[in-house]
Amino acid sequence: MILNDDVDQCPHHPSAPVSSDWTGYVIIVNPERSEIAKRLQVEKPGRYALKVNIR
């Protein structure tokens, strides 16, 4: 999920690290009907990064 710049904690996974270093993104509007959402295992609509670099 792509968060706003002022957010430093994931609302869905508070213990997961947050990174501003990402490449590419996809917008999922209707995850129930989306093949991309199924492949990415996305269950909620939103903006998702395709590649995230955690350091």
Comparing C-alpha atoms, which of 23, 11, 15 is closest to residue 52? 23
Model confidence band, residue 46 (pLDDT cutoffs 50, 70, 90): very high
For the chain, state the CA radius of gyration.
Answer: 12
Does the pLDDT value for residue 19 go beyond 90? no
pLDDT at position 14? 87
| 20-38 tens-digit pLDDT | 888 999 999 999 999 999 9
Structural domains for the chain: 1-55 (2.20.28.90)
Distance in angstroms (rounded) separating the CA atoms of residues 52 and 19: 7
